């Protein structure tokens, strides 16, 4: 059988969906990666996947340009003739759902991990786009030969309440999973006694970047010797991206150690004590949190959709901070700096939860089950192959 994975960046496919593609490949199926051009796409060929590029600007609102993108997508699908198209992110789900009907694709899976800029920002542009995007989603996602995958119950409630998709066509699969064999605790972190805190994400303001830096400033003013590490790059395709120059200024002030894009995240985690994500973005389930949990780091995050799936009990499997509250974030980090026993207990509990609930082999199997609902007797089968895959060194700071 042939599967097409369609996303708005090759980076997303490589970092978040490669393990699922390799499971299908191991079971004897063909997987084609489809995205706009990017620096990660060339890696797919080395792993036995074809990569097809699409002229798509994920931030574009130009009707003519978007029509060209949709026409090109229909042509690609008619040429490839996949048995199933798996779309990722809201825009790709809408475009892919419509193009799949026009091209006669038998089955479509739409994965929406978080509600994205249009549904999270209060910018005028986002508020104006919301009704249009809802109408497009209602018209393209609710189809008898399609299923929708969401990552948390909060998003499921939005879709049900808005009647965007019939309840029977929604599956909740929490996160895209983590390789708990590759991401695991080490004895390196905290070896010099200095607390090291990490925020790993796309550099969007709604991820709590500003609050993180302000917490670093407050603790520095208190005379605390804590290193604040920032991993990730600005996202030019998102209107709420932090400017490159702004991040450089923070680094020059000595407030953060900015690493930019990081390839080997397990090696970085081995030097970190605390993973902080003070997000007020409508997350799916943040990859950085579940990877930090698998690595045995103490977690600090907000009680926001997606984040609350990872840290459920304040003081037990992590610490919960109010959104947009830099002083509260600073106080929690200082608490962990003073109480290393608590730091260790939270890291141990986070690791146990990651293994029990977010192991990627379970997530991939649930995705295979979704494919099976649409494909019937032709569904992917075979042993769970996740543990036998060669190690990959990929960036997960998104």
pLDDT in tens, 316-337: 999 999 999 999 999 999 999 9
| C-alpha span between 214 and 111 (Å, rounded) | 34
Q: Stretch 109-132: mean pLDDT, rounded?
A: 70
DSSP annotation of 380: -
How much is the pLDDT for 391?
A: 35
Residues near 389 by beta carbon (within 8 Å), at least 6 away in sequence? 19, 22, 26
Domain with CATH 3.40.50.2000 in the chain: 2-177+359-388, 196-356
CA distance to 196, 292, 378, per residue, from 191 (Å): 10, 18, 52
Q: What backbone phi and psi angles, to 5 degrees, belong to 7?
A: -140, 170
**Nearest in space to 198 (alpha carbons), one of 301, 280, 273:** 273
Q: Which whole number is the average pLDDT over 119-140? A: 70
Q: Across the strands, what pairs with 170?
A: 148
Q: What residues have CB less than 8 Å from 291, skipping those under 6 apart? A: 178, 183, 200, 265, 269, 396
Beta strands in 159-224 (DSSP E): 170-172, 196-200
CA–CA separation, 254 and 250 (whole Å): 7
Strand partners, 257: 229
Token digits for 283? 């997350």
Q: Which fold has domain 2-177+359-388?
A: Rossmann fold (3.40.50)
Q: Terminal CA-to-CA distance of the chain, rounded, Å?
A: 31
Please give the residue that has the higher pLDDT: either 295 or 283. 295
Mean confidence (pLDDT) of the chain: 89
Residue pLDDT, tens place only, 62-101: 788 889 999 999 999 999 999 999 999 888 999 999 999 9
Return the minimum-mean-pLDDT range out of 54-58, 175-179, 228-232. Answer: 54-58
309 contact partners, CB below 8 Å, separation of at least 6: 151, 152, 174, 175, 285
Question: 313-331 b/e with 16+ CB inside 10 Å = b?
Answer: eeeebbbbbebebbebbbe
Report residue 394's pLDDT band, with 50, 70 and 90 as the boundaries: very low
| Each residue's pLDDT tens digit, 338-381 | 999 999 999 999 999 999 999 999 999 999 999 999 998 555 65
Confidence of residue 385 (pLDDT cuts 50, 70, 90): very low
Count CB-CB contacts under 10 A for residue 45: 11
Q: Is the domain 196-356 a CATH 3.40.50.2000 member?
A: yes
């Amino acid at each position: 059988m042939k599967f097409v994975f369609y996303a708005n960046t090759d980076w997303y496919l490589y970092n978040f969906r490669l393990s699922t593609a390799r499971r299908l490949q191991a079971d004897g199926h063909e997987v084609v990666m489809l995205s706009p051009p990017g620096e990660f796409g060339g890696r797919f060929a080395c792993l036995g996947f074809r990569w097809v590029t699409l002229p798509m600007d994920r931030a574009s609102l130009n009707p003519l340009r978007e029509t060209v993108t949709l026409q090109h997508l229909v042509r690609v699908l008619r040429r490839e003739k996949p048995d199933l198209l798996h779309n990722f992110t809201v825009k790709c789900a809408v475009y892919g759902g419509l193009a799949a009907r026009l091209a006669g694709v038998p089955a479509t899976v739409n994965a929406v991990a978080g509600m994205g800029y249009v549904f999270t920002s209060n910018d005028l542009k986002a508020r104006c786009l919301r009704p249009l995007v809802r109408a497009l989603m209602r018209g393209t996602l609710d189809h008898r030969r399609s299923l929708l995958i969401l990552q948390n119950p909060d998003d499921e409630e939005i879709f049900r309440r808005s009647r965007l998709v019939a309840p029977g066509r929604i599956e909740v699969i929490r996160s895209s999973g983590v390789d708990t064999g590759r991401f695991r605790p080490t004895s390196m972190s905290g070896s010099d006694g200095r607390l090291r805190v990490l925020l790993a994400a796309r550099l969007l303001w709604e991820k709590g970047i500003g609050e993180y830096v302000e917490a670093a400033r407050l603790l520095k003013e208190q005379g605390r010797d804590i290193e604040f590490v920032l991993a990730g790059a600005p996202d030019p395709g998102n209107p709420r991206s932090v400017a490159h120059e702004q991040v450089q200024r923070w680094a020059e002030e000595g407030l953060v150690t900015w690493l930019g894009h990081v390839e080997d995240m397990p090696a970085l985690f081995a030097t970190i004590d605390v993973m902080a994500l003070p997000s007020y973005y409508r997350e799916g389930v943040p990859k950085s949190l579940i990877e930090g949990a698998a690595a045995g780091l103490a977690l600090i995050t907000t009680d926001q959709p997606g984040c609350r799936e990872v840290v459920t009990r304040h003081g037990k499997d992590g610490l919960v901070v109010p959104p947009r509250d830099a002083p509260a974030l600073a106080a929690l980090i200082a608490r962990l700096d003073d109480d290393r026993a608590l730091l260790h207990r939270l890291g141990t509990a986070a690791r146990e939860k990651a293994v029990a609930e977010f192991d990627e082999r379970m997530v991939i199997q649930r995705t295979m089950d979704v494919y099976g609902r649409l494909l019937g007797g032709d569904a992917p089968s075979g042993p769970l192959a996740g543990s036998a895959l060669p190690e990959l060194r990929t960036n997960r700071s998104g």
